[in-house]
């Protein structure tokens, strides 16, 4: 969604910088468009930035793929830092552009410790990752990108969207992360939003959360035991085992969250992320608390 105003009371203050992307992820909630929109959105985002309250804790940069802005992404970061010097800048990127060491070095110079890069890693197994992105060698580029980001001290949030393709390897992936990517600051396991390409590819990507709770629990607890900062996004408390409640976050953006009638009396409602109002396939929940 393109925001026209940033709001201190919202949990989603993001600048949408392009609808273009160089991946074609099977479950993409915001299917990419081939159109030259960088300049026009840049101008719009300058106006949006003007509305930003100085106390804003986080601002997102999202798309599409923000690194398709090339050097213009650095201009945007500089403008944000000038306007909001204390605000953390959370960029969602597929990470492939950071395989270019010079580009990553410049990003670090411009953004410094204000940056947090949210990068999806779909699997430890390159074939599965590339199957999901539908781009050969995207795994290799994203992995190189993660190492370059680490080399230049940029904070990383690894994002793992759980699908039918990757859920069986969540525990294997958790060991892979601990052994090969121990420098990441956060790891977020994310329930799938059934919208965009996820609807078109429903048979390939959709899995009911009940089918992967054992794998998710093993992966999350494993990473937590290793001392890593791990979270579960987009899965309501009543879909999770009790052991995962402490890791579950209120992650669904306020403009697309919904609670069902059964939620009204639920004791967990204040902590629970609720459901996506944007999902075609509604989760089958059984209120228990």
Q: Return residues touching ligand SF4 (CB under 6 A).
A: 236-238, 259, 262-263, 266, 268-269, 272, 274, 285, 287, 289
Q: How far is the CB of 38 from ligand SF4 (least distance, A)?
A: 39
Using the minimum distance from each CB to ligand SF4, give the nearer residue, 32 or 274: 274
Using the minimum distance from each CB to ligand SF4, give the nearer residue, 140 or 238: 238
- How does 41-64 read in b/e, with b if 16+ C-beta sit within 10 Å? bbebbeebbeebeeebeebbbbbb
Reduced to 3 states, what is the DSSP secondary structure of residue 160?
Answer: strand
Using the minimum distance from each CB to ligand SF4, give the nearer residue, 101 or 269: 269
Q: How far is the CB of 234 from ligand SF4 (least distance, A)?
A: 11
146, 119 contact by CB (below 8 A): yes
Q: How far is the CB of 129 from ligand SF4 (least distance, A)?
A: 30
* Distance set, CA 97 to CA 27, 85, 94, 199, 224 (Å): 21, 26, 8, 28, 30
Dig out the tokens for 220 from the structure.
């999350």
Q: How far is the CB of 235 from ligand SF4 (least distance, A)?
A: 9
Q: How far is the CB of 267 from ligand SF4 (least distance, A)?
A: 8
Using the minimum distance from each CB to ligand SF4, give the nearer residue, 132 or 272: 272
* Distance set, CA 41 to CA 59, 63, 117, 173, 243 (Å): 16, 11, 21, 36, 43
241, 220 contact by CB (below 8 A): no
Q: How far is the CB of 249 from ligand SF4 (least distance, A)?
A: 13
Residue 70, C-beta contacts closer than 8 angstroms, at least 6 positions apart: none
Using the minimum distance from each CB to ligand SF4, give the nearer residue, 127 or 289: 289
Using the minimum distance from each CB to ligand SF4, give the nearer residue, 145 or 236: 236
């Amino acid at each position: 969604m393109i925001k026209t105003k940033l709001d201190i009371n919202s949990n989603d203050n993001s600048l949408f910088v392009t609808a273009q992307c160089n991946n074609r992820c099977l479950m993409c909630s915001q299917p990419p468009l081939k159109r030259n929109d960088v300049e026009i959105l840049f101008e719009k985002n300058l106006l949006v930035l003007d509305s930003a309250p100085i106390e804003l804790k986080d601002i997102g940069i999202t798309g599409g793929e923000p690194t398709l802005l090339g050097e213009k992404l650095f201009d945007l970061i500089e403008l944000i830092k000038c306007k909001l010097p204390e605000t953390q800048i959370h960029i969602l990127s597929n990470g492939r552009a950071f395989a270019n060491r010079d580009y990553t070095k410049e990003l670090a110079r411009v953004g410094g410790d204000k940056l947090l890069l949210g990068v999806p890693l779909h699997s430890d197994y390159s074939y599965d990752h590339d199957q999901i992105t539908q781009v050969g060698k995207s795994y290799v580029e994203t992995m190189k990108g993660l190492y370059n980001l680490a080399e230049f001290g940029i904070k990383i949030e690894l994002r793992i969207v759980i699908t039918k393709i990757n859920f069986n390897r969540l525990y294997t992936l958790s060991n892979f992360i601990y052994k090969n990517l121990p420098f990441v600051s956060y790891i977020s396991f994310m329930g799938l939003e059934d919208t965009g390409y996820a609807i078109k590819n429903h048979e390939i990507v959709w899995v009911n959360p009940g089918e992967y709770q054992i794998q998710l629990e093993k992966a999350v607890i494993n990473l937590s035991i290793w001392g890593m900062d791990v979270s579960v996004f987009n899965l309501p408390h009543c879909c999770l085992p009790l052991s995962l409640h402490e890791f579950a976050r209120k992650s669904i953006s306020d403009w697309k969250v919904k609670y069902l009638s059964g939620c009204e009396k639920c004791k967990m409602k204040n902590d629970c992320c609720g459901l996506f109002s944007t999902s075609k396939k509604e989760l089958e929940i059984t209120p228990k608390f």
